[in-house]
Amino acid sequence: MFGTGNTKPRLGIDLAGGTSITLTAKSTDPKAINKSSMDIATGIIERRVNGMGVSEAEVQTQGDNTIIVNIPKGGDRQNAADQVGTTAKLFFRPVLAVAPSGVTAPAPTGSPSAGATGTPAAAPSAGATPSAAATGTPSATASATKQGRTVGEALAAGSSPSAAATGASAAPSAAATGSAAPAATGTPSAPATPPSAADLSAAMTQGTVPPELSAAFAALDCSKPEVRAAQTGADDKAVVACSQKAENGYYEKLALGPAAVKGADVSKAQPSLDTQTGSGWQVQLQFNGTGTDAFAKVTGQLATQTPPNNQFAIVLDNQVVSHPQVNGPIPGGSAVITGRFTQAEAQDLSNVLSYGALPLEFTKSDITTVSPALGSDQLKAGLVAGAIGMLLVVAYSLVYYRGLGLVSIAGLIVSAIMTYSIMSLLGGGIGFALNLPAVCGAIVAIGITADSFIVYFERIRDEVREGAPLRPAVQRAWPRARRTILVSDFVSFLCAAVLYVVSVGKVQGFAFTLGLTTALDVVVIFLFTKPLITLLARRKFFLDGHPWSGLDPKRLGARPPLRSSRRRSSSSSAAVKEA
């Protein structure tokens, strides 16, 4: 509107649809939940949600420990709802040990011993030599394990050290006798026993698990989503944690040392695309002075270690985002988080890190989603109620004030146009959203505006009843009506201002609209109604007191003019004095 492009008021979630989230603060220290920490959390949440591309979100405190987040339709509402209230506590921890978690052991093959072909072993010839089963499998398996062979490779091989050893023990005896071995009778040997998932995980553990974490590390099953999401631990102690992405078909569990660098020392974070190595999206970090020194010191120490102790785990809200290797000291206060991120994931992580950690922990005590269809019905109901109220006021004005009623109708139309225009401008300017209580405030304002007209009209009619001509009556009535209108509007505006300050959420929409329309009522009365009535008082229809003008002296019971009687009294007094 007026060249700004805002031609309609912005609707709140109860009218346009959206999601409303109620966050309740919690802390072990009751004193930590105070106005200062709640204000900081409100600002961080608002910047975080708007930074996710969900514009015009409303974040407001309610009471002592509650924050209301209203996310309108449009943008990635689901992602924003998931991110709202996350504590975003970032730590950099050294990796002590890594092991696969939730790995399924290979099933028994049940193969017979003699050639591993599934049939009884045949008698070898006299010059036969031990088969490859006697020399290859056990040593190859041991070598691969020592070299860090992955569990995925071990499962793909379809063999185990125990099975290989069984095959090796049978073959030499057959070769030594040169005749059929007893196993050639067709009786298969007992099936090989596969290693359990726990054995595989233990065999693949790299690094050393601290004694105080051994039990928790062994019992940790990262294949369960609820386990991965429920990791906890103090920042100054060693902890166990889960990776958040499956690698080679399984998740990893890690033993991590105390936090070496804190996320509070991150001054800036932004996503970027790695075009050099082609590893995809990453997050670039910039540390402050404290973080720069600490990060350079720790990375210098880790670079001298062997895997996995040369890895630095990036832990966000007790969940391992990435644990890259450190090849050398990283000075300068810059670092990169890699983790095979998508563009959206990198943007979300950067957004959370950029806007900092919340000073309190929050739980989502209520999540309400309003569909656009329901919002449309509510808006329609509000508009119908407003139209009914307007029609009743118009009907009353025409019946009671007749011609003057047209003035009140014109004033209501002007007030409605101004209100609509200002709401449209405020929607784009300060993010004001028209919700259902705000619509109720606009409906109440119809009565306030009509009341101002009634005050002025009745003052004019009182002057006409006293016998004054219309034009002087209009001028005399204005000072008295003006004072009454200003006092009345001031009281209404004061009530709206107090209600806006002490209330929260949707009630503020009602108070804001009520205060706005009350202020506009003063503008309309002073700049529109008063000049218009002054002009109409010069028209013959009103000046002569037409019966349909609403200012007919006979209908109003006007007294006879007092001007002639005053003149007679003055003449009589003069005659008496002369006598």
Q: How far apart are CA 260 and CA 154, in angstroms?
A: 35
**Which residues in 27-42 are b (16+ Cβ under 10 Å) and which e?**
eeeeeebeeebbeebb
User: Does the domain at residues 18-85 carry the CATH identifier 3.40.1280.10?
Assistant: no
Buried b (16+ CB within 10 A) or exposed e, 471-488: eebbebbbeebbebbeeb
Amino acid code (one letter) for 494: L
Which whole number is the average pLDDT over 220-247? Answer: 80
Euclidean distance between CA atoms 461 and 538, whole angstroms: 16
Query: Is the pLDDT score of 197 beyond 90?
Result: no
Q: What angle do CA 310, 280, 336 make, to 5 degrees?
A: 40
Could you count the other beta carbons within 10 Å of the beta carbon of residue 84? 24
- Region 41-58: mean pLDDT is 69
Residue 18 near residue 368, CB atoms below 8 Å:
no
Is residue 566 within 8 A of residue 573, CB to CB? The reply is no
Q: Which pLDDT does position 459 carry in this prediction? A: 92
Positive or negative, the CA dihedral 29, 34, 36, 41 is: positive
Listed ranges 36-50, 260-274, 483-497; the one with the highest mean pLDDT: 483-497
Least confidently predicted of 31-35, 94-98, 129-133, 423-427: 129-133
Q: What is the rounded average pLDDT for all residues in the chain?
A: 74
Q: What six digits make up the tokens of 277?
A: 């190595």
User: Distance from CA of residue 92 to its chain's centroid?
Assistant: 26
How confident is the model over 472-529, as pLDDT tens digits? Answer: 999 999 998 999 999 999 999 999 999 988 876 678 888 989 999 999 999 999 999 9
Would you say residue 408 has pLDDT above 60? yes
Taking domain 90-100+202-357, whether its CATH number is 3.20.20.70 is answered by no
Of residues 517 and 115, the one with the higher pLDDT is 517
Cα 8 off chain centre by: 25
Which pLDDT score, from 0 to 100, does residue 131 have?
39
Residue 553 has pLDDT above 70, yes or no: yes
CB atoms near residue 404 (< 10 Å): 23
Which of residues 535 and 364 earns the better pLDDT score? Answer: 535
Q: Mean pLDDT highest for which of 192-206, 264-278, 282-296, 373-387?
A: 282-296
Residues sharing a CB contact under 8 Å with residue 95, sequence separation 6 or more, in sequence order: 207, 254, 255, 256, 257, 308, 309, 311, 312, 313, 323
> In this predicted structure, what is the pLDDT of residue 517?
92
Amino acid letter for position 400:
Y
Got the DSSP string for 496-536?
HHHHHHH--THHHHHHHHHHHHHHHHHHHIIIIIHHHHHHH
Q: What confidence tier does 275 reach under pLDDT thresholds 50, 70, 90?
A: confident
Q: Is the pLDDT of residue 191 over 60?
A: no
Q: Please state, for a pLDDT cut of 70, what percent of the chain lies above it.
A: 70
Contact of 255 with 213, CB cutoff 8 Å: yes
Task: Kindly state the percentage of the chain with pLDDT values over 90.
Answer: 12
Predicted pLDDT of residue 198: 58
* Cβ proximity of 366 and 22 under 8 Å: yes
Residue 112: predicted pLDDT = 43
Residue ranges of alpha helices (H) inside 52-136 are: 77-83, 132-135
Residue 33 reports pLDDT greater than 50? yes
What is the rounded CA–CA span in Å between residue 300 and residue 292? 12
For the chain, domain boundaries: 18-85, 90-100+202-357, 372-564
Asked if residue 145 has pLDDT above 70, the reply is no
Identify the band that residue 375 occupies on the pLDDT scale cut at 50, 70 and 90.
Answer: low
Q: What distance in Å separates the CA atoms of residue 18 and residue 12, rounded to the nearest whole number?
A: 8
133-143: average pLDDT: 33
Q: How confident is the model at residue 179 (pLDDT cuts 50, 70, 90)?
A: very low
CA dist 23 → 14, 67, 85, 468, 564 (Å): 18, 5, 7, 65, 78
Handedness of CA 13, 365, 40, 514 (dihedral sign): positive
pLDDT at 180: 40
CA atoms within 13 A on the CB side of 486: 7
In this prediction, residue 86 has a pLDDT band, given cuts at 50, 70 and 90, of: low
What are the φ and ψ backbone dihedral angles of 398, each rounded to 5 degrees? -70, -40
CB 389 within 8 A of CB 441: no
Q: Which residues, listed in sequence order, are joined to residue 447 by a DSSP beta bridge?
A: none
> Is the pLDDT reported for residue 201 higher than 80?
no
pLDDT of residue 132: 35
Instruction: Name the CATH superfamily, with its identifier, for domain 372-564.
Output: Multidrug efflux transporter AcrB transmembrane domain (1.20.1640.10)
DSSP single-letter state for residue 48: H
Answer yes or no: is pLDDT of 150 > 60: no
Closest CA to 470 of 401, 540, 391, 377: 540
Which tops the pLDDT comparison, 363 or 133? 363
**Cis bond leading into 106, ω under 30°?**
no
- Cβ(71)–Cβ(21) under 8 Å? yes
**Interstrand relation of 433-434 and 10-11 (parallel, antiparallel or unpaired):** parallel
Report whether 25 contacts 17 (CB < 8 A): no
What local confidence, expressed as pLDDT, does residue 193 receive? 56
pTM over 0.75: no
Instruction: Give the mean model confidence (pLDDT) for residues 259-273.
Output: 83
